């Protein structure tokens, strides 16, 4: 009984150990991939989004600070610069653009809308100033522009 079990199991056992190793390597790889985009120090004059809500209330991963560059897309899909897997956000939800010294936000046709200080952005690019509150899906951000 034991002999048969053991002889059969040896293949399975080795496979399980290798799946474990594969799983760990995969997680490490994913961590490196997702972390390499995020670690900035806050530089002066570069605006950033600061999370207003409590991070732990969400069961999806969201950062406290997102730095904004020239053209930054935000949404659920991994193709965006800012990836937030909020079920109430669309795949491509909003875009932050920089033009003539000012930052703008436009809604990319999202299902639930993008709101600045309570007002719906709806289609056109709205200018952002320091202290504006942005709401996408369930997440509230503060737009901080030090310059």
Partner 1 sequence: MMKLLSLKRPVNMLVLANILAFGLLYYYKKPYDKMVLIEGLIVTGLICLSYFFIIKKNMGDGYLFLVVSMLSSLGVLMIYRLDQDRGFKQILWLVIGIGLFFMSYYLYGKVKIKDKLMFYYYAASIFLFMTTLVIGSSINGSRNWILIGGYSFQPSEIIKILFVLTIACYFKNSEQIIFNSKSVNLKWKLDNTKIISKIAFFLMVYSYIGFLVMQREWGTALLLFLIFFMVLYVFDNDIKLLLLNGAIAAIGGIGGYFFVHHIKIRVQMWLDPWADIAGKGYQITQSMFAISAGGFFGRGIGLGDPYLIPEVKTDFIFSAICEEMGVFGGIAVILLYFLLVYRGFKIALYIKDLFKKTVALGITLMFGFQTFIIIGGVIKLIPLTGITLPFISYGGSSLVSGFIALGILQALSKECYSGEEDVSDAEEQ
Chain positions contacting partner 1, by CB under 8 A = 1-3, 5-7, 9-14, 16-28, 30-31, 34-35, 38, 60-61, 63, 78, 85
With b for 16 or more beta-carbon neighbours within 10 A and e for fewer, the 28-67 pattern comes to eeeeeeeeeeeeeeeeeeebbbebeeeeeebeeebeeebb
Q: Tell me how far, at minimum, the Cβ of 79 lies from partner 1, in Å.
A: 12
Distance CA 66, CA 81 (A): 10
Nearest residue (CB) to partner 1, 76 versus 105:
76
Q: Tell me how far, at minimum, the Cβ of 124 lies from partner 1, in Å.
A: 33
Q: Tell me how far, at minimum, the Cβ of 22 lies from partner 1, in Å.
A: 8
End-to-end, the C-alpha distance of the chain in Å comes to: 76
CB neighbourhood size of 27 (10 A): 10
């Amino acid at each position: 009984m034991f002999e048969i079990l053991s002889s059969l199991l040896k293949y399975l056992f080795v496979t399980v150990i290798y799946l474990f190793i594969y799983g760990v390597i995969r997680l490490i790889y994913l961590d490196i991939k997702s972390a390499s985009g995020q670690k900035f120090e806050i530089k002066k004059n570069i605006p950033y989004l600061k999370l207003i809500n409590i991070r732990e209330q969400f069961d999806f991963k969201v950062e406290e600070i997102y730095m904004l560059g020239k053209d930054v897309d935000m949404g659920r899909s991994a193709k965006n610069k800012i990836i937030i897997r909020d079920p109430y956000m669309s795949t491509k939800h909003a875009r932050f653009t920089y033009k003539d010294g000012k930052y703008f936000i436009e809604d990319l046709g999202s299902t639930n809308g993008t709101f600045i200080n309570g007002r719906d952005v709806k289609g056109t690019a709205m200018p952002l100033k320091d202290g504006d509150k942005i709401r996408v899906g369930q997440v509230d951000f503060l737009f901080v522009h030090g310059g």
